[in-house]
Structure formats: structure tokens, C-alpha cells
Amino acid sequence: MSPRPSLLLLLGTTLTAGCGAPPESGNGFPLELTLSRAVADELGAFQVVVLPEGKSRRCGDLQRTCLNQQVKQDEALVLQGPDGNKARALRFPAGLQSGAQELLVDIPVGRDYVVVIEALSRSNPPRFLGSSCNYLESVSAARNEPLIAAAITPAAVECDPSFAP
């Protein structure tokens, strides 16, 4: 059984993507993400989904509305969170400290992925606030290069971004 690399997500409210060097993290992917103040004020959680066949997908289209309305649930890769739970969409409570938050996600070794990080509201059910879409060329069992995330694109769309368990 091959090891599953971790994807370390560093989320922040900085105004510029890629400020400073991302932290080192073994086999994972440090990821820095920017948020607009409007999104940060309502933010309750982040949802991380990884899709195969990344080159065939258009990030602009994926960011317009909830991802679960655009792809079949079984298209998403099964991910594992730091608590050992596995799911096709991992949700992390927002806990920005000093404008940053680290999330740890294990993703399968492979090529040609797209990583979608959706910002979810605090409301119940959660509302889609916007998303970040990032192409990921490959994930290896060895050390991986850092990935700098695109800024979250705010979206004025009413939809529940929840993936079924």
C-alpha cells in the first residue's frame, strides 16, 4: 500500500496570493488562499474537494455556483482528514488565527487534479460564499512542490454546497 501524501492548506485573509514562502510540510502541499473581507465576515467553514481530469475542467465554470450542482458526487476523489474520516468532500470549521489557518488533507497519489475549496457560511444549512479553484499537476508519494491557491472568488448564488455523506 503506497503512502498518501497530505495536502496542507494554509488559508488566510491576506490581500495578495503568494505572500512570503509557504511552510514546509513533508509530503504535503502547502497552500495559501486569499479571502475578501466580505467573505471572511460570514465565513463558517471550508469544504475541500479534489476532482480528477483537471485539465478538462474550467475553473471559471466550477467557481460560479456550488460544486455539488456541477459534478456527480462519485466524480470527486475520496479524501482523508486529519481525524481519519474519509469523504469525497472534507469540511473544516473556519478558525482563522492571525489571518491564516492550516488544514491537513490526504489525497491519493496521481496526476491531473483540480482542487476546489469552497467557503461556506455560518448559517444552517450553509450557503455558498465562493470558491478557489486550483490545478494540481501531480501528487507523488515523495515530497511535493508547494501549491499557491487562487483567491476565493465571491459568488452571489443561493445554494447549499453540502455533499451527501
Of all residues in the chain, the percent with pLDDT exceeding 90 is 37
Instruction: Indicate whether 116 belongs to any domain.
Output: yes
Chain segment 10-39, per-residue pLDDT in tens: 544 322 233 333 333 334 444 555 565 656
Q: What is the pLDDT of residue 7?
A: 56
| Residue 66 pLDDT | 94
Domain that holds residue 86: 6-154
Asked if the structure places residue 162 within a domain, the reply is: no
Cis peptide before 125 (omega within 30 of 0): yes
Residue 78 lies in a domain: yes
Task: Provide the 10 A C-beta neighbour count for residue 38.
Answer: 11
Query: Residue 131 falls within a domain, yes or no?
Result: yes
State residue 57 phi and psi, 5-degree precision.
Answer: -110, 145
* 45 part of a folded domain: yes
The tens digit of pLDDT for each residue in 85-136 reads 999 999 988 876 655 666 777 888 999 999 999 989 999 889 999 888 999 9
Provide the pLDDT for residue 30.
46
Domain count, the chain: 1
C-alpha distances out from residue 136 to 39, 127, 156, Å: 24, 26, 27
Whether residue 96 lies inside any domain: the answer is yes
**Domain-embedded: residue 165:** no
Q: What is the predicted pLDDT for the residue at 94?
A: 84
The pLDDT, as a whole number, for residue 28 is 43
What are the cell numbers at 61?
A: 465554470
CA angle 105, 128, 44 (to 5 degrees): 60
- Asked whether the predicted pLDDT for residue 8 surpasses 60, the reply is no
**Residue 139 in domain:** yes
Grade residue 59 by pLDDT with cuts at 50, 70 and 90: very high
Residue 89, pLDDT score: 95
